[in-house]
Amino acid sequence: MLEKIINSKTRLKILSLFFANQDKDFYAREIIKQTKLDPANVHKELKNLVQGKFILENKSDRKYFSLNKENIFYDGLKQIFSNYNNLSSDEEWMSLEEIPNYYPMMVSPVWNVDLANNFLKSRGFKNKFSKLLNTFDNNINNLLVIKSEFNTLSKEILDKLIKNPSWGQQYIDDLHLEEQKLIKATQKLEKTNLVALSNKELYELFDTYYNKTYTNLHIFHWFQTLADFGDNLFSKYLMSYLKSKIKKNEYSLGEVFSIMTTPIEDSTPTLEYKDLLKILSYILDKPKIKKYFKETEFRIIIKNLAGLDAKLNQMIEAHVSKYSYLGYGTIGPGWGKDYFVDILGSLVRQNAKPTELLDKLETEKKNIAKKQLDFVKIFKLDKNHQELFKVAQGIVFTKGSRKESMFYSYSVSENLYREIGRRYYLSVNQVRYMHPFEFKYLLLDDKFSASTLNDRYKFSLQFSLGDMEKDDKMLIGQKAKDFIAKLNIIKEEVKDIKMMEGDCASPGRSRGHAKVINIPKDMEKMKEGDVLISVATNPDLVPAIKKASAIVTDVGGITCHAAIVSRELGIPCVIGTRIATKAIKDGDIVDVDATHGKVNIIR
């Protein structure tokens, strides 16, 4: 419709550019480059627009143009182009990730344009987002960005890292500080008697904890996301550098890359495993207890454990208290006593030897550290790239540690949501489907709609343009679907694919029956030795991952969940194939050559 009113595609594109960047001055060459229009037509239309006083021509050493905000039609055109630019079909939207069990209380602040751009500006970025979009479809959250904007920011972060690796290290250090702040605040929240608080006090607690602590950590995801999602620029840069160094050598690119990006520091899951092995040692040192664990169902062990061995019972309960949140993920439940007792019983029946397993962990860690030093010498890695690989290791490690501190937060925040729900007859899940700014209206003004929260779960979206409360569009149901239908969302075309390539996250080779696993319900079909195919793995899928002989994902770089877990478990893994879940079906026989980043469909 706007094309017909303005009656010139060239004029429309030029005005659209000016209204999308209202405070920016443009040289004619810039306008030609950004609009990709014929230069002669651009100069002609610029002359017309200056004559009509829609734009101003300014002269200094060079001629440049700016929007004329004094034009009598300015306010009307501003509104028209605001709507036009927001839905421009020229913008290609790209889905970064589809994740189960994400909800508005988690996502809406960190997928908000203002908060994202403020964070990026605080880290020294010059570029920014104009819009962000995320949808909720029956428990699946889809995170979308404008491809060109994401690629520009990804390129900027890569350039910054190459020029100054210490900039990346500063991000890692700052992230650790925010993790500690969230952990301390969560410990305080865990001790708070929520029932005793008034609605106003409850809101003030939520505002301080959520908006000023939790969000400050979660927003750090943008660094990792920009560095290693989309086209995985950081991973590809490091692999390209290594490829130029390795050339003809006994080592494969995938193996060297995996070693050089693996952190040496123990993750929290590794610390949990080590502590569990210490409990196993205690059990094995007592023949009667060992026999009981070997021959008895875990439900009966739990029932009788306190009377059987009080010290062991205390050790296991302390372990549950310390590590339960790791299994909570984003919606729970956390790992309970039954989970750990069942694992201990399984280890006893397997005749596991804790001392050997602990020694193996330490040996593997030392071997990786030694190989990293050896590779630096063998391939003559310069100091700048050595620092870049240290940053890569830090990004990998903090991707896990950030999520783990957030899992702790979610496990404790459930108490807060449950108390709020109790006061307004809402379930925990309904409270999770509120947007953060709505808590003020709920707790202070008693304004809310349970039916709206239910409809958000079925299908809804957040289209972010600026301030979350004032500018973001929160649409539900058919309105949300109609809105999405107008957007140009990139979809991969897949036809008769026999082979695909990605990046090596963990080297090795395996062949097996493929099983497409995206949500916990899918794990029922996973058998030992199957090849796990996923858009992107997440902590909820770990039981299936442990059965897999190999992992293949559509998206992700060195910091993605699949990459981190596969290295910890020693499972061959290819990430970033883009099309695996579309090209591979359940039951297909696939050959995964992770070392070379190749996946062949044998059928």
Give the tens place of pLDDT for each residue, 13-23.
Answer: 898 888 888 88
Cα angle 316-317-318, degrees, rounded to a multiple of 5: 90
Instruction: Give me the mean pLDDT over the 175-194 stretch.
Output: 97
Beta strands 531-534 and 550-553 are: parallel
Give me the DSSP letters along 100-114: ET--HHHHTTTT-HH
Q: Where are the alpha helices (DSSP H) in 36-136?
A: 39-51, 74-86, 104-107, 113-122
113 — pLDDT class (breaks 50, 70, 90): very high
Instruction: Give the tens place of pLDDT for each residue, 470-516.
Output: 888 999 999 999 999 989 988 766 667 888 888 888 889 999 999 99
* Cβ neighbours of residue 7 closer than 8 Å, sequence gap 6 or more: none
The pLDDT of residue 559 is 65
* Cβ neighbours of residue 436 closer than 8 Å, sequence gap 6 or more: 105, 108, 109, 210, 211, 215, 468
Nearest to 483, CA basis, from 462, 504, 458: 462
CB 570, CB 255: distance < 8 Å: no
Give me the DSSP letters along 512-569: EEEEE--SGGGGGG--TTPEEEESS--GGGHHHHTT-SEEEESS--TTSHHHHHHHHH
Greater confidence (335 vs 76) lies with 335
Instruction: Give the tens place of pLDDT for each residue, 270-298.
Output: 999 999 999 999 999 999 999 999 999 98
Instruction: Give the tens place of pLDDT for each residue, 334-376.
Output: 999 999 999 999 999 999 999 999 999 999 999 999 999 999 9
Instruction: Give the tens place of pLDDT for each residue, 470-479.
Output: 888 999 999 9
Torsion, CA 335, CA 299, CA 520, CA 106, rounded to 10: -30
Instruction: Give the tens place of pLDDT for each residue, 436-475.
Output: 999 999 999 988 888 899 999 999 999 999 999 888 899 9
Instruction: Give me the mean pLDDT over the 397-411 stretch.
Output: 95
Instruction: Give me the mean pLDDT over the 128-137 stretch.
Output: 96
Beta strands 499-501 and 598-601 are: antiparallel
Residue 542, judged by CB atoms within 10 A of its CB (0-12, 13-18, 19+), counts as middle
- The partner residues of 137 in beta bridges, in order of sequence, read 140
- Residue 579, phi then psi, degrees to nearest 5: -125, 5
Instruction: Give me the mean pLDDT over the 264-273 stretch.
Output: 93
Instruction: Give the tens place of pLDDT for each residue, 209-230.
Output: 999 899 999 999 999 999 988 8
- The partner residues of 516 in beta bridges, in order of sequence, read 533
Q: Which domains does the chain have, with CATH numbers?
A: 2-86 (1.10.10.10), 99-224+403-489 (no CATH), 268-361 (no CATH), 499-601 (3.50.30.10)
164 — pLDDT class (breaks 50, 70, 90): very high
- Mean pLDDT estimate for the chain: 90
The proportion of the chain whose per-residue pLDDT surpasses 90, expressed as a percent, equals 67
What sign has the CA pseudo-torsion 449, 452, 456, 461? negative
> In the 8-state DSSP scheme, what is residue 458?
H
| Spatial separation of the C-alpha atoms in residues 403 and 253, rounded to whole Å | 29
Whether the predicted pLDDT of 88 surpasses 70: no
Instruction: Give me the mean pLDDT over the 97-125 stretch.
Output: 94
| Spatial separation of the C-alpha atoms in residues 200 and 58, rounded to whole Å | 54
The pLDDT of residue 215 is 96
The pLDDT of residue 85 is 59
Of all helices (H) and strands (E), which one includes residue 227? Answer: helix 221-228
Please give the structure tokens belonging to residue 57: 């021509």
What sign has the CA pseudo-torsion 575, 577, 582, 584? negative
Enumerate long-range contacts of 306-311, CB under 8 Å, 24 or more apart: 311/282
Most confident of 50-54, 142-146, 536-540, 593-597: 142-146
Q: How far is CA 241 from CA 386, 523, 538, 560, in A?
A: 11, 38, 29, 21
* Cβ neighbours of residue 548 closer than 8 Å, sequence gap 6 or more: 526, 529, 530, 531, 532, 571
| Spatial separation of the C-alpha atoms in residues 450 and 439, rounded to whole Å | 13
The pLDDT of residue 1 is 45
The pLDDT of residue 6 is 65
Torsion, CA 283, CA 289, CA 294, CA 296, rounded to 10: -130
Cis peptide before 333 (omega within 30 of 0): yes
Q: Determine the residue type at 281.
A: S
The proportion of the chain whose per-residue pLDDT surpasses 70, expressed as a percent, equals 96
CB 93, CB 146: distance < 8 Å: yes
The pLDDT of residue 247 is 77
Whether the predicted pLDDT of 5 surpasses 60: no
The SS3 of residue 243 is helix
The pLDDT of residue 395 is 93
Instruction: Give me the mean pLDDT over the 66-93 stretch.
Output: 78
Torsion, CA 132, CA 478, CA 455, CA 329, rounded to 10: -40
Of all helices (H) and strands (E), which one includes residue 224? Answer: helix 221-228
